[in-house]
């Protein structure tokens, strides 16, 4: 047969407009888009369904050995070891269940070590999954050896983004170290992604809250108000402008921070902004929940950083998506179970808020929530949904045009959605390794019913069928979006990029 598989009769959202057509697949890639394709070895009927590019989640923490990471902890208390409970197999299952087929996840760097030892370990972990994957390299200890020897080596191995934190006790960089990472990224043709919150401000607020006896989960939000995020966003952008290095601001939770990004964009800077469903769906008040079984610890289920805000702020984030200031919606999936010893209760269920790991699971929930709240409720067109969740992340991360669009030559990663299917979210539907979802009971309209990864059906009606070890690493080469603008103060280039 001419095609290994034909997806027949769906409403196809290509990333650049919607059309009714058949999709012919050969050797895992899209070989033809036409009104009618015959001569197929197999057919997937898509009548009445939407056919979307498989989701790309360009920000998720999977099986990440984070030594003390994601716990605020005061400067005086040694942070505990925390390990993300999700494995690449459970994460792949969860992602497929929710319509996502590729991820960009994080290789850790532990302070006092180089980056290559962790990378070797992480490559082995990732290769066990079913998702296609690429890596951001976290930099926590930017020594000369790391920046001058190891970064060029990981770039040669296909990693094109460096991730830095401006907060968290064991992770945050000083301005000086952040500048050094920006310079290194510029010299090596990488994107820099930034967690923007002010470390010293959070530490100061946290210590004051604890002294006042305000220790419950809800005070997590009080420890990091929006001004803390706005200041760090402003600083991250200003220093990136100084160096002339493109950056993406991760997980924007408030309009103040988004306005910093908008202003930079209006001035022509290469600055992008991402947000996540939690900033559209959760608020600080969720951390004030208490249940008979869990008491105030129940609030820890909603604890992530930046903190969820208010309904008014949620509306402002929708507006910033509509304007295009925020052009990617990722999950920041970073699941910690409520039970057990490795998760939210790593430091006990009575731990003060600063000793509870930050992060919530969202790999499977991301697309159904954004589809329902966005497309079904009329806030987003289908095209906008596809761009926010697949096309834009693929382009910004250098994965386009292989990923993120439905076009001839692209990988046949497809999600078939029933736009009318109504589902009440439960933790079982998430199919992850975490023991809860923060969205339990939420009603959504629209659901992915079939998912193909490189032309193979990997999910049908919630049943994931893919062999562990079939996910592929997506190496990234040089790409234009992260090329510096060449605009420099006084015309003096203190960090020339490669010719
Ligand atoms: N924020 C979280 O909530 N979890 C993981 C890392 C982060 O920055
Ligand atoms: Zn972050
Ligand atoms: Zn400012
Ligand atoms: Zn994150």
- Residue-wise pLDDT for 319-329, tens only, equals 999 999 999 99
What is the predicted pLDDT for the residue at 81? 60
Q: Closest Cα to residue 330, out of 270, 408, 397?
A: 397
pLDDT bin (cut points 50, 70, 90) of residue 299 is very high
Q: Which two structure tokens, joined as six digits, stand for 127?
A: 């290769």
Q: What's the gap in Å between 228 CA and the centre of ligand 3?
A: 11
What is the predicted pLDDT for the residue at 294? 95
pLDDT bin (cut points 50, 70, 90) of residue 471 is very high
Nearest-angstrom CA–CA distance, 86 and 65: 10
The residues placing their C-beta within 5 Å of ligand 2, an ion, are 195
pLDDT above 70 covers what percent of the chain?
97
Q: 73 pLDDT exceeds 90?
A: no
Q: 273 pLDDT exceeds 80?
A: yes
Atom of ligand 1 minimally distant from the CA of 360: 3
- pLDDT tens-digit map of 5-15: 999 999 999 98
Q: What's the gap in Å between 271 CA and the centre of ligand 1?
A: 20
Peptide bond into 59 cis (omega under 30): no
- Find the range with the poorest average confidence among 74-78, 391-395, 455-459: 74-78
Mean pLDDT, range 459-469, rounded to an integer: 98
Average pLDDT, the chain: 95
Among all bound ligands, the one having the nearest atom to the CA of 331 is 4
359 touches ligand 1 (CB under 6 Å): yes
What is the predicted pLDDT for the residue at 468? 98
Alpha helices in 213-341 (DSSP H): 219-223, 226-243, 255-266, 278-281, 311-323
305 touches ligand 1 (CB under 6 Å): yes
What is the predicted pLDDT for the residue at 77? 56
What is the predicted pLDDT for the residue at 352? 95
304 touches ligand 1 (CB under 6 Å): yes
What is the predicted pLDDT for the residue at 135? 98
Say how many Å lie between the first and final Cα of the chain, rounded: 47
- pLDDT tens-digit map of 16-26: 899 999 999 99
Q: 289 pLDDT exceeds 70?
A: yes
Nearest-angstrom CA–CA distance, 348 and 169: 19
Would you list the DSSP string of 411-454? B--EEEEEEEEEEE--HHHH-SSSS--TTTT-EEEEEEEEEEET
Peptide bond into 10 cis (omega under 30): no
pLDDT bin (cut points 50, 70, 90) of residue 70 is confident
Q: What's the gap in Å between 165 CA and the centre of ligand 2?
A: 7
pLDDT bin (cut points 50, 70, 90) of residue 76 is low
What is the predicted pLDDT for the residue at 242? 97
Mean pLDDT, range 307-334, rounded to an integer: 98
What is the predicted pLDDT for the residue at 495? 87
Q: 350 pLDDT exceeds 80?
A: yes
358 touches ligand 1 (CB under 6 Å): yes
pLDDT bin (cut points 50, 70, 90) of residue 78 is low
Cα dist from 364 to 30, 50, 268, 384, whole Å: 25, 18, 35, 19
Nearest-angstrom CA–CA distance, 212 and 233: 29
The residues placing their C-beta within 5 Å of ligand 3, an ion, are 234
What is the predicted pLDDT for the residue at 79? 59
What is the predicted pLDDT for the residue at 230? 98
**Residue with more model confidence, 170 or 485:** 485
Q: Is the complex ipTM more than 0.95?
A: no
What is the predicted pLDDT for the residue at 69? 67
What is the predicted pLDDT for the residue at 307? 98
Nearest-angstrom CA–CA distance, 389 and 58: 9
pLDDT above 90 covers what percent of the chain?
91
Q: Phi and psi dihedrals of 36, rounded to 5?
A: -145, 120
What is the predicted pLDDT for the residue at 74? 60
Q: What's the gap in Å between 350 CA and the centre of ligand 3?
A: 38
Q: What's the gap in Å between 393 CA and the centre of ligand 4?
A: 15
Query: Is the sign of the CA dihedral 148, 149, 150, 151 positive or negative?
Result: positive
Per the listing, tokens 């209760």 go with 345
Q: 67 pLDDT exceeds 90?
A: no
Q: 75 pLDDT exceeds 70?
A: no
Atom 7 in ligand 1: residue holding the nearest Cα: 305
Cα dist from 38 to 7, 8, 24, 350, 408, whole Å: 10, 9, 9, 63, 17
Cα dist from 223 to 78, 206, 226, 334, 445, whole Å: 19, 5, 10, 20, 35
Q: Report residue 428 CA to chain centroid gap.
A: 22
Mean pLDDT, range 266-282, rounded to an integer: 98
Alpha helices in 131-253 (DSSP H): 144, 151-156, 175-188, 199-211, 219-223, 226-243
Strand-pair category, 43-45 with 29-34 = unpaired
What is the predicted pLDDT for the residue at 346? 87
- 371-390 core/surface letters (b: 16 or more CB in 10 A; e: else): bbbbbbeebbebbbbbbbbb
- pLDDT tens-digit map of 152-178: 999 999 999 999 999 988 899 999 999
Cα dist from 451 to 1, 51, 131, 383, 418, whole Å: 22, 9, 12, 19, 12
Among all bound ligands, the one having the nearest atom to the CA of 305 is 1
Per the listing, tokens 């697309």 go with 367
Q: Report residue 400 CA to chain centroid gap.
A: 17
Mean pLDDT, range 350-366, rounded to an integer: 95
């Amino acid at each position: 047969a001419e095609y290994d598989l034909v997806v027949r009769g769906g409403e196809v959202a290509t990333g650049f407009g919607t059309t009714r057509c058949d999709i012919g697949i050969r050797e895992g890639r899209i070989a033809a888009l036409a009104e009618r394709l015959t001569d197929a070895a197999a057919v997937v009927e898509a009548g009445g369904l939407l056919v979307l590019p498989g989701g790309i989640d360009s920000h998720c923490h999977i099986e990440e050995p984070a030594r003390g990471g994601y716990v605020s902890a005061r400067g005086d208390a040694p942070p505990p070891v925390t390990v993300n409970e999700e494995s690449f197999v459970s994460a792949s299952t969860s992602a497929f269940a929710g319509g996502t087929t590729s991820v960009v996840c994080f290789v850790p760097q532990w302070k006092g070590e180089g980056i290559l030892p962790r990378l070797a370990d992480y490559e082995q972990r990732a290769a066990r999954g079913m998702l296609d994957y690429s890596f951001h390299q976290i930099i926590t200890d930017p020594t000369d050896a790391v920046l001058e020897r190891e970064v060029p080596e990981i770039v040669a191995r296909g990693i094109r983004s460096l991730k830095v934190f401006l907060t968290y006790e064991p992770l945050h960089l000083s301005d000086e170290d952040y500048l050094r990472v920006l310079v290194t990224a510029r010299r090596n043709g990488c994107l820099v992604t930034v967690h923007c919150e002010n470390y010293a401000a959070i530490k100061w607020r946290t210590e004051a809250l604890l002294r006042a006896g305000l220790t419950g989960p809800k005070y997590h939000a009080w420890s990091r108000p929006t001004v803390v995020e706005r200041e760090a966003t402003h600083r991250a952008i200003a220093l990136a402008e100084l160096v002339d290095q493109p950056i993406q601001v991760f997980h924007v939770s408030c309009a103040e921070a988004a306005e910093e990004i908008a202003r930079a964009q209006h001035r022509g800077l290469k600055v992008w902004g991402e947000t996540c469903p939690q900033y559209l769906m959760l608020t600080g008040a969720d951390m004030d929940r208490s249940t008979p079984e869990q008491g105030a610890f129940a609030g820890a289920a909603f604890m992530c950083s930046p903190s969820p805000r208010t309904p008014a702020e949620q509306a402002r984030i929708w507006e910033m998506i509509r304007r295009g200031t925020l052009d990617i919606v990722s999950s920041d999936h970073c699941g910690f179970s409520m039970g057990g010893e490795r998760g939210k209760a790593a430091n006990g269920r009575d731990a003060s808020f600063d000793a509870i790991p930050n992060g919530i699971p969202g790999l499977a929930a991301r697309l159904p929530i954004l589809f329902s709240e966005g497309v079904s409720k009329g806030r987003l067109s289908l095209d906008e949904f596809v761009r926010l969740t697949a096309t834009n992340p693929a382009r910004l991360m250098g994965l386009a045009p292989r990923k993120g669009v439905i076009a001839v030559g692209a990988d046949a990663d497809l999600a078939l959605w029933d736009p009318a299917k109504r589902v009440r979210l439960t933790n079982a539907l998430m199919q992850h390794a975490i023991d809860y979802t923060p969205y339990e009971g939420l009603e959504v309209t629209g659901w992915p019913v079939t998912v193909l990864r490189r032309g193979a059906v990997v999910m049908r009606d919630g049943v994931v069928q893919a062999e562990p070890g079939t996910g592929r690493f997506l190496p990234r080469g040089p790409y234009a979006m992260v090329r510096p603008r060449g605009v420099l103060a006084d015309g003096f280039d203190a960090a020339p990029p490669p010719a």
